[in-house]
């Protein structure tokens, strides 16, 4: 969109059309272009318009709200299918929890981006393929392969959501980076909605209990089961129509936690040496180690994605470099532990899945660290780091597809 903004900079009508077609992308791209075009009357007008802070929430028009309401009801209905159709909850939810919300979010972005029939068909077919496949896998108790397939299916559905978010423009790096930022903003606003909903739930149940009426079972079975799937749908609507609500919160959170996580990681590694615990002989410890690794990677990604529109200060870049280096060390320990367990105990689906994920993360971390080092020497700006992260996202999705769809066939259940 940057090229279109530049081309039509002296055409107010066309700029307004571009803005209305995708407000979030227009705002981010204009912010990048503004240093080049500032001084012109139209550029100054748009700068003031886009950066005007309002305390009011924009609810857009009735069609948007009706879509959100309809999508929330459909998601709640899907969540209630076990009760409606008599399906065992232990069978339904592990396999289908991702299909409660992700298709609704993908439908929202497909609608807002006005995707072509062909692209919508691709989204529908891939989602249906996932539904049919995962529900066709035999129901075996304590199956590692099934658990792996269910977990990686969520990442696969996340990839479909990303396809809808970028409007099917898979090679648009800026859109991919915007997708990461959207995820960070969605986490923040969803957490706030859940906190408010939890307070309301406690007050409601408490007030009815004062009247001697026990509504807990009814409330959780018919209110909460519809409200929980509605949280990310409502959160998505708010982040897209009111970017000022959390647009500046997630980058601040990332900046605060980056140095704190760095200190925590260093202390944790030192404590691990003295505690006698190690991931080589303790399977649960290795699992926690990998969860920690993914969490730190998310902090790095959201820190870069959340502020890619402007250059970071040198101390912030240095902190990210140190955090990346320490994370590479953590990744190296986890990787060596996995290889040790494979050599000693043999190949299992879990070990192969974790080995593949750790190798992918290691490569991504090395690429990010290299870009950050160049940013400190002024050879590149931190926006290049975001491009590396965004460009690497399809690799994770491909691995998720391999694990989710081929591991049950290769290793059995």
Q: Which residue has the tokens 């409200």?
A: 227
Is there a single domain that holds both residue 193 and residue 272?
A: no
Is there a single domain that holds both residue 288 and residue 236?
A: no
Single out the residue of 109, 117, 119, 104 nearest to residue 22, CA to CA.
109
Confidence at residue 151, expressed as pLDDT on a 0 to 100 scale = 93
Please indicate, yes or no, if residue 152 is contained in any of the structural domains. Answer: yes
Contact 239, 109 (CB under 8 A): no
Assigned token pair, 244: 């000022």
Distance CA 341, CA 3 (A): 52
User: Is residue 75 predicted with pLDDT exceeding 90?
Assistant: yes
Confidence at residue 310, expressed as pLDDT on a 0 to 100 scale = 47
Confidence at residue 319, expressed as pLDDT on a 0 to 100 scale = 85
Is there a single domain that holds both residue 82 and residue 118?
A: yes
User: Is residue 171 predicted with pLDDT exceeding 50?
Assistant: yes
Is there a single domain that holds both residue 155 and residue 262?
A: no
Confidence at residue 308, expressed as pLDDT on a 0 to 100 scale = 47
Average pLDDT, whole number, for the chain? 84
> Residue 41 is part of which domain span?
2-50
Please indicate, yes or no, if residue 301 is contained in any of the structural domains. Answer: yes
Confidence at residue 264, expressed as pLDDT on a 0 to 100 scale = 85
Distance CA 158, CA 105 (A): 10
Please indicate, yes or no, if residue 371 is contained in any of the structural domains. Answer: yes
Helix (H) or strand (E) holding 97: none
Chain centre to alpha carbon of residue 81? 26
Distance CA 227, CA 220 (A): 9
Q: Where does a domain end: 28, 50, 72? A: 50
Assigned token pair, 103: 């298709």
Please indicate, yes or no, if residue 398 is contained in any of the structural domains. Answer: yes
Tens of pLDDT, residues 251-261: 677 777 788 88
Q: Where does a domain end: 209, 241, 273? A: 241
If one counts the domains in the chain, the total is 3
Residue 225 neighbours by CB under 8 Å, 6+ apart: 76, 79, 80
Please indicate, yes or no, if residue 143 is contained in any of the structural domains. Answer: yes
Is there a single domain that holds both residue 404 and residue 272?
A: yes
User: Is residue 81 predicted with pLDDT exceeding 90?
Assistant: yes
Single out the residue of 363, 360, 351, 355 nearest to residue 335, CA to CA.
355
How would you write 195-213 as a 3-class SS string?
HHHHHHHHHHHHHHHHCCC
């Amino acid at each position: 969109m940057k090229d279109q903004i530049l081309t039509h900079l002296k055409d107010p009508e066309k700029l307004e059309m571009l803005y209305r077609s995708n407000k979030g992308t227009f705002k981010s791209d204009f912010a990048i272009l503004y240093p080049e075009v500032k001084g012109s009357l139209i550029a100054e007008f748009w700068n003031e318009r886009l950066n005007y802070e309002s305390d009011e929430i924009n609810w857009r028009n009735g069609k948007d709200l009706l879509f959100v309401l309809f999508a929330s009801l459909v998601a709640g209905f899907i969540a209630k299918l076990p009760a409606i159709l008599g399906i065992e909850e232990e069978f339904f939810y592990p396999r289908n929890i991702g299909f409660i919300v992700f298709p609704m979010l993908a439908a929202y972005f497909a609608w807002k981006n006005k995707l072509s029939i062909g692209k919508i068909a691709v989204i529908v077919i891939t989602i249906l393929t996932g539904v049919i496949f995962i529900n066709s896998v035999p129901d075996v108790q304590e199956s590692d392969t099934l658990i792996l397939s269910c977990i990686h299916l969520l990442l696969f559905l996340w990839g479909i959501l990303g396809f809808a978010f970028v409007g099917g423009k898979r090679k648009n790096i800026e859109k991919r980076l915007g997708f990461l930022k959207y995820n960070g903003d969605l986490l923040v606003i969803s957490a706030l909605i859940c906190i408010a909903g939890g307070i309301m739930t406690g007050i409601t149940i408490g007030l009815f209990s004062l009247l001697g009426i026990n509504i807990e079972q009814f409330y959780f079975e018919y209110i909460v089961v519809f409200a929980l799937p509605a949280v990310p749908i409502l959160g998505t609507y708010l982040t897209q129509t009111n970017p000022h609500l959390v647009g500046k919160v997630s980058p601040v959170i990332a900046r605060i936690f980056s140095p704190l996580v760095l200190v925590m990681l260093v202390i944790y590694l030192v404590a691990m040496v003295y505690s006698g615990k190690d991931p080589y002989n303790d399977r649960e410890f290795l699992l926690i180690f990998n969860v920690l690794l993914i969490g730190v990677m998310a902090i790095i990604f959201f820190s870069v994605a959340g502020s890619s529109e402007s250059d970071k200060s040198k101390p912030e870049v240095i902190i990210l470099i140190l955090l990346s280096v320490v994370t590479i060390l953590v990744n190296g320990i986890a990787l060596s532990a996995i290889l040790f367990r494979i050599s000693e105990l043999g190949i299992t689906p879990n070990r192969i899945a974790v080995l593949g994920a750790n190798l992918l993360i290691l490569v991504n971390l090395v690429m990010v660290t290299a870009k950050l080092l160049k940013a400190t020497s002024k050879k590149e700006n931190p926006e290049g780091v975001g491009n590396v992260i965004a460009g690497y996202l399809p690799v994770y999705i491909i691995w998720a597809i391999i694990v989710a769809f081929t591991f049950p066939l290769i290793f059995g259940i």
